[in-house]
Amino acid sequence: MVEHTDVTTPRRPGRPRKGREDRRSRIEDAARAEFLEAGYAGASIRAIARRAEVDPALVRHYFTDKAELFAAAVSLPVRPDVILGSVIDGPIEGLGERLVGRLLEAWDTPEIRERAIPLFRSAIGQDGAARSLPEFIVGELIGRIEDRLDAIGDSSAAERAGLVASQMVGLIAARYLVRLEPIASLPPERIVTLVGPVLQGYLTGPLGDI
Final residue in a domain of this structure, among 37, 54, 73? 73
Which runs of consecutive H residues, i.e. helices, occur in 65-185?
66-73, 80-83, 85-88, 95-107, 110-124, 133-137, 143-151, 157-172
Clarify whether residues 33 and 115 are in a common domain: no
Count of C-beta atoms within a 10 Å radius of residue 184: 12
Q: Name residues whose C-beta falls within 8 Å of residue 99's C-beta, 6 or more positions apart in sequence.
A: 84, 87, 88, 164, 168, 196, 199
Clarify whether residues 62 and 22 are in a common domain: yes
Maximum separation of any 2 CA atoms in the chain, in Å: 66
Q: C-alpha distances in angstroms, 30 versus 3, 26, 166, 201?
A: 14, 6, 30, 42
Q: Is residue 13 part of a domain?
A: no
Identify the CATH number of the domain in which residue 43 sits.
1.10.10.60
Please state the domain count of the chain: 2
Clarify whether residues 129 and 203 are in a common domain: yes
Q: Name residues whose C-beta falls within 8 Å of residue 10's C-beta, 6 or more positions apart in sequence.
A: none
Clarify whether residues 162 and 89 are in a common domain: yes
Q: Is residue 2 part of a domain?
A: no
Residue 60 lies in domain = 18-73
- Distance of alpha carbon 86 from alpha carbon 73, whole angstroms: 24
- Distance of alpha carbon 75 from alpha carbon 123, whole angstroms: 13
Clarify whether residues 42 and 135 are in a common domain: no
Clarify whether residues 85 and 178 are in a common domain: yes
**pLDDT at residue 18 in the model:** 60
**pLDDT at residue 125 in the model:** 66
From first to last of its 210 residues, the chain has per-residue pLDDT tens of 555 544 444 444 544 456 677 899 999 999 999 988 888 888 999 999 999 999 999 999 999 999 899 988 888 777 877 888 889 988 999 999 999 999 999 888 888 888 888 877 777 666 666 667 777 877 778 888 999 999 889 999 999 999 998 898 889 889 998 999 999 999 999 999 999 999 999 999 998 754
pTM score of the predicted model:
0.72
Contact 197, 97 (CB under 8 A): yes
